Structure 1
Amino acid sequence: MSNNKPTLYTSLSPALLHLYDLNNAVVVIIDVLRATSTIATALYNGAKCVIPVDSVARCIELGKRIDSITAGERDGQIAEGLEYGNSPFEYPEAFIRSKTLVLTTTNGTKLLHMALERGAGQIVTGSFPNLSAVCDYLVDQKMPVVLGCAAWKDRVNIEDTLFAGAVINRIKEHFSINCDSSQIAETMYIDAQKDLYGFMAEKNASHYHRLTGFGLEKDIRYCLTPDGANVLPFYEDGKLVVHNYR
């Protein structure tokens, strides 16, 4: 009986997040290009934790107070006043192991703080590099799920919608899904799944266009490839840590 299954909803933009009840839900923060891909990669490569903050000023302030790497981007480029950006390739194991990363991004970290303010039951971050870990966790928890797309300055984007669709495509039998956003996301993913990068290029996706303009094709390809950094970043006590739930 589908009535016994937890619900799953997809919020395609932070501007729509207020429409969903987050209180008893696992909220998945999705910012494929590139915040949540970078968070998964840094933790997979041995970072002690990632502290997501919603402003550059807060990032710099925290960096002065604690021993950490301060990083972030605004509009796709390294934010003024910070040393490092939002590329997963900036955080290899030799550099990031056992270190704390304080990260601020245009969309993803802001959405995480919005979910917190709206009383999310649990917060995890998702991207193609940790697709399997996210799917396994959501099935295991048997809790309502809200897939929260960070989008781009509140405008729906293709890559976050594709990731939501990939999750739905894998786990839909375990959930009750009466949500047109989720159906849209899965339909798009099924159409794109054979070549996600080619789909982004063919549709001239805005973020594809933006990052390609900065010479970041390698980043885009990595961020669209499943399971290259297959850990589950879990938010607790103000930071994201690897969650070993089994």
Structure 2
Amino acid sequence: MNKPTLFTCLSPALLHLYDLNQSVVVIIDVFRATSTICTALYNGAKAVVPVADVERCKQIGAEIGGITAGERDGKVIPGLQYGNSPAEYPRDFIEGKTLVLTTTNGTKLLHMALECGASEVVTGSFPNLSAVCDFLVKQNKNVILGCSAWKDRFNLEDTLFAGAVISKVKEHFTIHCDSSLMAENMYELHKNDMENFIQLTTHWHRLAAYGLQKDLQYCVTKDVANVLPIYRDGMLVVG
């Protein structure tokens, strides 16, 4: 029996090179959008509405009575209520509410994947690693692991997460893809020293300058918010 294929796209700027039709696309934005999304849903949010731009975020928030949130370059956007920190969405705050979220990289890539014809879109980060892997194996469809990167430039943390997924699911897929091979090798090399290695990354330095070290450590902790955010009718809900 032919196994489905798996590819890793290292940047949104490369997405057009992949065939997304009939594929499950995993949107990866470890620092911090996809970590925040799974955390909010794990803590009982009704849904997360990902939007690409700030004005749309405010508009939808007003229409549905949702919590508007987002960041650009790691900072909360003026005019929005909250930021893109997983720590801002504990159960006693977010349960039963809808979060309308816009971020620098992750929400942009999600909309690109939908426009390119992805059959299914889910979001992944270390806090929901197992939920993502279980879903991909059960679906038995072609997979694109989409790294949100940083303004189209390669980043390490998203690639490491792609490597963690590949390490867990590779026997179920045909993988002839150098970016996947690199991602898995890098993850295997550093998986036992992730917290230290991740501190070398550009994004860590950028966000740590805003005092966000605790956020960042949480974002590389496995399975602490182990639900599957899946895109349905304009929203991410628990799959």
Choose which of 220, 224, 229 in structure 1 pairs with 2:225: 229
Q: CA deviation at 1:67?
A: 1.1
User: How far, CA to CA, are the matches of 1:80 and 1:18 in structure 2?
Assistant: 33
Q: State the match for 2:207 in structure 1.
A: 211
Q: CA deviation at 1:195?
A: 1.8
Which deviates further from its counterpart, 76-85 or 29-38?
A: 76-85
Q: State the match for 2:141 in structure 1.
A: 143
Q: CA deviation at 1:66?
A: 1.1
Q: State the match for 2:174 in structure 1.
A: 176
Q: State the match for 1:129 in structure 2.
A: 127
2:157 aligns to what SS in structure 1? helix
Q: CA deviation at 1:83?
A: 1.3
Choose which of 217, 220, 223 in structure 1 pairs with 2:216: 220
Unaligned runs of 5+ in 2: none
2:192 aligns to what SS in structure 1? coil
What are the superposed Cα offsets for residues 90-109 of structure 1, whole Å, 9 maximum, x if unpaired? 00000000000000000000
User: How far, CA to CA, are the matches of 1:20 and 1:220 in structure 2?
Assistant: 30
1:21 aligns to what SS in structure 2? coil
What are the superposed Cα offsets for residues 116-144 of structure 1, whole Å, 9 maximum, x if unpaired? 10010100000000000000000011000
User: How far, CA to CA, are the matches of 1:89 and 1:216 in structure 2?
Assistant: 10
User: How far, CA to CA, are the matches of 2:139 and 2:115 in structure 1?
Assistant: 22
User: How far, CA to CA, are the matches of 2:62 and 2:192 in structure 1?
Assistant: 45
Instruction: Give the letter for the 1:112 counterpart.
Output: L
> What does residue range 86-97 of structure 1 map to in structure 2 within 5 Å?
86-97=84-95
Instruction: Give the letter for the 2:139 counterpart.
Output: Q
1:154 aligns to what SS in structure 2? coil
1:155 aligns to what SS in structure 2? coil
Instruction: Give the letter for the 1:51 counterpart.
Output: V
1:49 aligns with 2:53: no
Instruction: State the TM-score, normalized to the length of structure 1.
Output: 0.96
User: How far, CA to CA, are the matches of 1:166 and 1:17 in structure 2?
Assistant: 20
User: How far, CA to CA, are the matches of 1:112 and 1:9 in structure 2?
Assistant: 16
Instruction: Give the letter for the 2:26 counterpart.
Output: V
User: How far, CA to CA, are the matches of 1:38 and 1:231 in structure 2?
Assistant: 12
Q: Give the superposed CA RMSD.
A: 0.7
1:241 aligns with 2:210: no
1:51 aligns to what SS in structure 2? strand
User: How far, CA to CA, are the matches of 1:242 and 1:32 in structure 2?
Assistant: 18
Q: CA deviation at 1:193?
A: 0.2
Aligned residue pairs: how many?
A: 239
Q: CA deviation at 1:81?
A: 1.1
What are the superposed Cα offsets for residues 35-71 of structure 1, whole Å, 9 maximum, x if unpaired? 0000000000000000000001100111111111000
- In percent, how many aligned pairs have the same letter? 68
User: How far, CA to CA, are the matches of 1:52 and 1:73 in structure 2?
Assistant: 12
Choose which of 92, 99, 118 in structure 2 pairs with 1:120: 118
User: How far, CA to CA, are the matches of 1:12 and 1:184 in structure 2?
Assistant: 11
User: How far, CA to CA, are the matches of 2:220 and 2:174 in structure 1?
Assistant: 27
User: How far, CA to CA, are the matches of 1:86 and 1:192 in structure 2?
Assistant: 26
Choose which of 89, 102, 105 in structure 2 pairs with 1:104: 102
Q: State the match for 1:22 in structure 2.
A: 20
Unaligned runs of 5+ in 1: none
Q: Which runs of 4+ in 1 moved over 4 A?
A: none
1:230 aligns to what SS in structure 2? coil
User: How far, CA to CA, are the matches of 1:138 and 1:194 in structure 2?
Assistant: 24
